Structure 1
């Protein structure tokens, strides 16, 4: 068993080196167990030192398949993620790889602080959507 863990960690380290990854996180149903079924995909968020194109992302997913024993992998580039997605990832995730031990906790604090700062804006947005939906409902008798 230890050999399997060691070889899996080695695989992720090699992938991280090849694609200049700083951070690799597993999140979603495979971590929180909600709506988990045997066909559930593996949601993986990454942060890299360089921009990866679609072909590189596809190759990276293929190279990760042996780690997960599945080809059903969805990648999220954290550099392109919205604040809400960032929060969802960092709220419940498992660190698969990090460049240094301070990277994940530092980013997590930053993400949670940003989420708290943005909360009033999200609430205002939801309030306006509810008001608009109510107006539409009244107009069309829904």
Structure 2
């Protein structure tokens, strides 16, 4: 019996599951990986995250899946997920809350990206 996204999300206590990257923008090829981000009701242990990934591989019938815990992702990745993401599971409200948090973290770290860029441009 094939699990559906809703079943997978419930099994792993997910609050939100989004697709982003090339699949989020629908500009994918047969060689594209699938970028998925999730928020869970409670932190997943490493073994639980592996089981989630396994279930998603079976669901999508594709082993090239990048699974991202959106509570732990860096601001650039959060920005990409928030900008390009599409909901696979969860409410619009949860997705909107995630987007607000992601854009805020991106804005808060802008000065760090600018400093890094200046530093790299000054290298001989």
User: Partner of 1:80: helix, strand, or coil?
Assistant: coil
User: Partner of 1:39: helix, strand, or coil?
Assistant: coil
Partner of 2:75: 83
Relative contact order, CA 8 A, sep 6+: which one is greater?
2
Equivalent runs, 1:54-93 vs 2, <5 Å? 54-93=46-85
Equivalent runs, 1:23-34 vs 2, <5 Å? 23-33=16-26
Equivalent runs, 1:52-131 vs 2, <5 Å? 52-98=44-90, 100-131=91-122
Q: CA RMSD in A?
A: 2.0
Report if the CA contact (8 A) 1:31-1:93 is conserved. yes
Q: State the distance in 2 between where 1:121 and 1:62 align.
A: 36
TM superposition score normalised by structure 1: 0.75
**As a proportion of its length, which structure holds more helix?**
1
Report if the CA contact (8 A) 1:61-1:71 is conserved. no
Structure 2: runs of 5+ lacking an equivalent: none
Q: State the distance in 1 between where 2:26 and 2:5 align.
A: 23
Shift of 1:54: 2.7
User: Partner of 1:102: helix, strand, or coil?
Assistant: helix
Partner of 1:48: 40
Q: State the distance in 2 between where 1:89 and 1:105 align.
A: 12
Structure 1: runs of 5+ lacking an equivalent: 1-7, 136-142
TM superposition score normalised by structure 2: 0.85
- Structure 1 segments (4+ residues) deviating >3 Å: none
